[in-house]
Structure 1
Amino acid sequence: MSLEQALLLLAAGALSGFLNVMSAGGSMLTLPVLMFMGLDSTTANGTNRVGIVLQNITATWKYRSAGHRHLRLGLKLSVPAVLGAIVGAWVATLVGEDLFRWILILVMVGSSVLMLLPMPVHRETLYLDESHLRWPVILVMAVIGFYGGFIQVAVGILFIVLLYRILRIDLVQVNILKVLVVLIYMLPALGIFVATGNVHWGFGLVLAVGSMAGAWLAAHMTLGPRGAVWIKRITLAIIAAIIVKLLMDM
Structure 2
Amino acid sequence: MFEVSLDLALMLIAAAFAAGFVDSIAGGGGLITLPVLLLAGASPLEALSTNKVQGAFGAATAAISYARSGHVRLRPQIGAAALSGLAGLIGAMLVSVIPTEGLRYALPVILIAIAAFFAFRKGLDDTDRVQRMTPAAFTAFVVPLIGFYDGLIGPGTGAFFMIGFVTLAGYGVLKATAHTKLLNFASNIGGLAGFAVFGAPWWVMGLAMGLAQMAGARLGARLAIRVGARIIKPLLVTTSTLLAIRLIWDLL
TM-score class normalised by the smaller sequence: 0.7 to 0.9
1:90 maps to which of 89, 93, 98: 93
**Superposition TM-score, scaled by structure 2 size:** 0.77
Name the stretch that deviates more: 63-72 or 198-207.
63-72
Letter in 1 for 2:63: T
Q: 1:128-207 maps to which residues of 2 (within 5 A)?
A: 132-207=134-209
Counterparts of 2:34 and 2:58, CA distance in 1: 15
Is 1:209 the equivalent of 2:211?
Answer: yes
1:30 maps to which of 29, 33, 38: 33
Letter in 2 for 1:198: A
Consecutive unaligned residues of structure 1, counting only runs of 5 or more, are: none
What's the C-alpha RMSD, in Å, of the aligned pairs? 3.6
Counterparts of 1:236 and 1:185, CA distance in 2: 20
Residue 219 of structure 1: CA displacement?
Answer: 3.4
- Would the alpha carbon gap of residues 171 and 232 (structure 1) be closer, same or farther in structure 2, given more than 3 Å must change? closer
- Name the SS of the counterpart of 1:92 in structure 2: coil
Residue 135 of structure 1: CA displacement?
Answer: 3.2
Residue 169 of structure 1: CA displacement?
Answer: 3.1
- Name the SS of the counterpart of 1:115 in structure 2: helix
Residue 170 of structure 1: CA displacement?
Answer: 3.7
Check the 8 A contact 2:90/2:148 in 1, yes or no: yes
Residue 103 of structure 1: CA displacement?
Answer: 5.8
Check the 8 A contact 1:84/1:149 in 2, yes or no: yes
- Would the alpha carbon gap of residues 149 and 7 (structure 1) be closer, same or farther in structure 2, given more than 3 Å must change? same
Structure 2 partner of 1:67: 70
State, as a whole percentage, how many aligned pairs show the same letter: 24
- Name the SS of the counterpart of 1:153 in structure 2: coil
Is 1:81 the equivalent of 2:111?
Answer: no
Letter in 2 for 1:184: A
Check the 8 A contact 2:111/2:243 in 1, yes or no: no
Counterparts of 1:69 and 1:225, CA distance in 2: 16
CA distances 1:164-223 after superposition (whole Å, capped 9, x unpaired): 113323433322221112222322321121122431113322322332222233234467
2:129 maps to which of 125, 128, 134: 125
Letter in 1 for 2:192: L
Residue 235 of structure 1: CA displacement?
Answer: 5.0
Counterparts of 2:30 and 2:232, CA distance in 1: 18
Consecutive unaligned residues of structure 2, counting only runs of 5 or more, are: none
Structure 1 partner of 2:7: 4
Residue 138 of structure 1: CA displacement?
Answer: 1.1
Residue 106 of structure 1: CA displacement?
Answer: 5.6
Aligned length: 243
Counterparts of 1:136 and 1:191, CA distance in 2: 24
Letter in 2 for 1:125: R
Structure 1 partner of 2:111: 111
Name the stretch that deviates more: 76-85 or 23-32.
76-85
**Superposition TM-score, scaled by structure 1 size:** 0.78
Counterparts of 1:148 and 1:164, CA distance in 2: 19
Letter in 1 for 2:154: Q
Check the 8 A contact 2:88/2:151 in 1, yes or no: yes
Check the 8 A contact 1:105/1:246 in 2, yes or no: no
Name the stretch that deviates more: 74-83 or 215-224.
215-224
Check the 8 A contact 2:83/2:144 in 1, yes or no: yes
Counterparts of 1:177 and 1:229, CA distance in 2: 16
